[in-house]
Structure 1
Amino acid sequence: MTNTSTQATDRRRPTEVSARFARSAWFRQDRFGMFIHWGPYAVPARGEWLRSQEQVSVEDYQFAVDGFGAEDYDPQAWAELAEAAGMKYAVLTAKHHDGFCLFDSALTEYGSMHNGIGRDLVREFLDAFRARGIKVGLYYSLLDWHRPDYPHYGDFIHPERENPAFADHRPDLESYRRYMHGQIKELCTNYGQMDILWFDFSYEGMGPQEWGAQELIDTVRALQPTALIDNRLEADGGGPGSIVTDAPTDYSGDFASPEQLIPVDGICAEDGSPVPWEACITINNNWGYTAGDDLWKSPEQLITKLVECVAKGGNLLLNVGPDPRGRIQPEAVERLHAIGAWLSANGESVHGAGPAGLETPEWGYYTRSGNTLYAHVLRAPIGPLALTGGLDKDSIARISLLADGRELQLCDAWVVKSYPDIPFVQFGEVGHFTYPLADPIDTVVKIELVEAPGAVQPA
């Protein structure tokens, strides 16, 4: 739930909104990233919300902190996997809601430098991914269930929210803000250029005012002026907050971050202009390592959902949850390699592409890059494929299969005579014959245009 207590102030000028949009240019080109949820919650293997859902005390959670050893942590292997999957950026949880830090902080000993690991896991991640040319980001939870100055009893989601032993607990938000701002300043100062700072999240009673959002964003912009920031300093995972208004706040963020859902129509501002967005999605059903979660999304589903995001003007941030030793599950590895194999042949229809400005066809999606359309055919037609959606056949210069460059031709057989205004493309020599799709997951037809048919440029 979004806290709107300070949304009436600190409004941006239109030129600042334009600057925000320009800052996300690379993000809207790259389209596909890796999310990594990793921390002590991998030890009990029941997800990163374990402490809240089961109302586990700090003391009873200590076994997870002590058991989190990262013995097989190999960030180079993670980066190699992300690169093989066609991912262009990656975001690691530097600190999740449990308060445990994967980075070297002078403000706490509750982290990987002091629990027996003795390593700055964040620095190793950043070094490995940067070495492969992958842009990097850090997730930082605005919540902290370990800090004694953070709200406990009566809070919406704190593990001790119903524990009568904490009925007299009084939070010290000023103290907590100093700590949180100090840690974010450490991340912005000690680790080089950040491409993304991914804050999580606001909820009832804890929003921009409680976080000191304006002061925080001023600090971040001074230290990391080019870093992209998500919208959760004022929003949760279910809404865009004021980023879609005609006068967003300074802390509204550079992109919206819908969670476990792809927006029905993408995300636009009140004036109809596109808003950068990124759907963060789990590869099974949980963010953190969950041993009993065998509900893995298929490679086919993940590929087509990536395409759907791009067609609607968004990105896909796909999550993996390594085990306590730092190993990514084989099922996740298999799926990432499958996505990468498809992207190796069809990547130009995703990376650098965006909405086509055409109506969505019944057989799949269109994406567009400059003067080239990409028809993502997910369902095979009977006979030739109708390029519906408002495409003018006279604007088509050449049609081919993207994966192998094989030229296709428009159909002029008798079966299409009833639809003189719709281009039909045939997949074989005989126009009215039915042929199997070259790729049963997503056959991408590349349509090079003579001139743009009045469509908008990719968002």
Structure 2
Amino acid sequence: MVDNSQSISAVNASGVTVPDPAPDLAAPQPPASTAWFEEARFGLFVHFGLYSMAARHEWVRSRETMSQEAYDRYLHRFDPDLFDARQLARTARESGMRYAVLTTKHHDGFCLFDSALTDYTSVRATGRDLVREFVDAMRAEGLRVGFYYSLLDWHHPDFTVDEHHPLRGTDAEKEPRDMARYRAYMEGQIRELLTGYGDIDLLFFDFTYPQKGPEAWGAEQLRSLVRELRPGILVNDRLGIPGDYVTPEQYQPDRPLERDGERVLWEACHTLNGSWGYDRDNHDYKDPALLVRMLVESVACGGNLLLNVGPTGRGALDPRARATLRDIAGWSALHSRSVHGAGPSAFTPPPNALYTRRGRHLYLHLLAWPLKHLHLPGLAGRVRYAQFLHDGSEIRFQEMDQAPPEHNNLAPQSQPSGTLTLTLPIARPDVLLPVIELELDGPGTEA
């Protein structure tokens, strides 16, 4: 992924925000179906590799301008004996995730799959095809499968030394290197990944930046190859040309994303603590309640959330990551229908609240707990029933189709006509984010 220490302009160039497509770049042919992606809404991202052993960020080799020889100390000791793809898949499913994406190759060039094009793989190092284990485990739990593939490769001898390369500022900058040979290598590996592991649902390329644009990757040709091999696959936007969906990174959109006035599919990708790979001394973890809020914010704006974990050097999730996912799982077990298959609503939520909608059900997510009454503008005459989603308990309400009588003490006098007023308990429900399910009825509530 993008090194978070880079400047905003570099991050933007890699596709973090939604760039206007260049006028000479045609939009890609859409995949066969995007319905599964919009239904899923929540996915797991897994960053694992040799950098996990360094335990100080996945960009460690670049940050410390480490030679290949120095970095190979991790290769010689790589032993992911605690990498349990089946347990990871169960954890993802229980957390409410419907798809998962694994780093098949990160910027250091180390591959977690069996490649005939390089010896720099987990198979040669340990005898284990970790991509195979991941794919089989996720499918067994009913999850869709995605592959992350880095366009950068600091191990390949033909990848030219640039601003991100660990050997920048050394004699390696003067070595003859041929990006055409590197492009052929990339195409060969993409062919291996998309033909050797069955149907793959999503391909997450990473990333394009000022020193290497779409021409460096042969972006159009690479995308055509992907479409030829897997016509229904979703491809992200980081080849430097428009993709099937856009990928804001460590940034949470607060409105639906558009290109040329048309809404686009999008997926916000976020870390638990600011690092994608395992970072032992980084304790800046997001609170589980904040992560649930980010998930709901994504759905309310028509997007997905891809939440990352970085297993340790031995392949296990660290205790804080496990605890965070357990908390999210507890919330998801009770509230998943406000997320899966849901999307934005045309209704305007009250302050400190978010709406998601699924058919005739409107879900009100309460970011702050009100005192007894909650006023919902424009919903009078449009709600048949209201209940808390966590326990199915009824919530009573009153409708304000017209101004209330002068001495009506049951509803506040200051609310405008058309307001629906819910009567809530004083005590906030003991869940990460309370959700009220409103069953809609009447005009203007069609799905």
Please give the residue correspondences for 1:108-147 in structure 2 after superposition, counting only pairs within 5 Å: 108-115=118-125, 117-147=126-156
Query: TM-score, normalised to structure 2's length?
Result: 0.90
Aligned residues: 421
8 Å CA contact 1:42–1:68 kept in 2: the answer is no
8 Å CA contact 2:39–2:341 kept in 1: the answer is yes
Please give the residue correspondences for 1:19-418 in structure 2 after superposition, counting only pairs within 5 Å: 19-20=30-31, 23-115=33-125, 117-152=126-161, 155-163=162-170, 165-234=171-240, 251-271=241-261, 273-388=262-377, 391-411=378-398, 413-418=409-414
Quick one: distance in 1 between partners of 2:431 and 2:129?
A: 44
8 Å CA contact 2:201–2:234 kept in 1: the answer is yes
Residue type of the alignment partner of 2:206: D
Question: 1:98–1:415: structure 2 CA closer, same or farther, 3 Å change rule?
Answer: same
Alpha-carbon distance, 1:415 to partner = 4.0
Residue type of the alignment partner of 1:450: D
User: CA offsets, 1:57-99, max 9 Å, x none?
Assistant: 1111000111221112211111111111111100000000000
Quick one: distance in 2 between partners of 1:306 and 1:48?
A: 24
Residue type of the alignment partner of 1:11: A
SS in structure 2 at match of 1:416: coil
8 Å CA contact 2:381–2:442 kept in 1: the answer is no
Residue type of the alignment partner of 2:428: L
Could you say which residue in structure 1 is the equivalent of 2:440? Answer: 449
Alpha-carbon distance, 1:269 to partner = 2.3
Residue type of the alignment partner of 2:114: D
Could you say which residue in structure 2 is the equivalent of 1:237? Answer: none
Quick one: distance in 1 between partners of 2:156 and 2:246?
A: 28
Alpha-carbon distance, 1:454 to partner = 6.5
Alpha-carbon distance, 1:192 to partner = 0.4
| Alignment of 1:424 onto 2:434 | no
8 Å CA contact 2:371–2:424 kept in 1: the answer is no
User: CA offsets, 1:11-43, max 9 Å, x none?
Assistant: 249xx4xx45x7221111111110000000011
Alpha-carbon distance, 1:329 to partner = 0.8
8 Å CA contact 2:206–2:238 kept in 1: the answer is yes
SS in structure 2 at match of 1:411: strand
Quick one: distance in 1 between partners of 2:349 and 2:101?
A: 31
Percent identity among equivalent residues?
42
The root-mean-square deviation of aligned C-alpha atoms, in Å, is: 1.9
Residue type of the alignment partner of 1:266: P
Larger mean CA deviation between 165-174 and 296-305 belongs to 165-174
Residue type of the alignment partner of 1:394: G
Could you say which residue in structure 2 is the equivalent of 1:245? Answer: none
Quick one: distance in 2 between partners of 1:343 and 1:85?
A: 6
8 Å CA contact 2:254–2:297 kept in 1: the answer is no
Query: TM-score, normalised to structure 1's length?
Result: 0.88
Structure 2 unaligned regions, length at least 5: 1-9, 400-408
Alpha-carbon distance, 1:440 to partner = 5.0
Quick one: distance in 2 between partners of 1:387 and 1:364?
A: 10
Quick one: distance in 1 between partners of 2:304 and 2:374?
A: 27
8 Å CA contact 2:27–2:243 kept in 1: the answer is no
Structure 1 unaligned regions, length at least 5: 235-250, 429-434
Residue type of the alignment partner of 2:248: P
Quick one: distance in 2 between partners of 1:337 and 1:171?
A: 48
Could you say which residue in structure 2 is the equivalent of 1:11? Answer: 26
Quick one: distance in 2 between partners of 1:416 and 1:276?
A: 41
SS in structure 1 at match of 2:438: strand
Alpha-carbon distance, 1:109 to partner = 0.2
Alpha-carbon distance, 1:170 to partner = 3.1
User: CA offsets, 1:157-209, max 9 Å, x none?
Assistant: 1111222x224223311100000111011101111000111100000121211
SS in structure 1 at match of 2:115: coil
Quick one: distance in 2 between partners of 1:357 and 1:377?
A: 17
SS in structure 2 at match of 1:91: strand
Quick one: distance in 2 between partners of 1:72 and 1:380?
A: 42
Quick one: distance in 2 between partners of 1:270 and 1:76?
A: 42
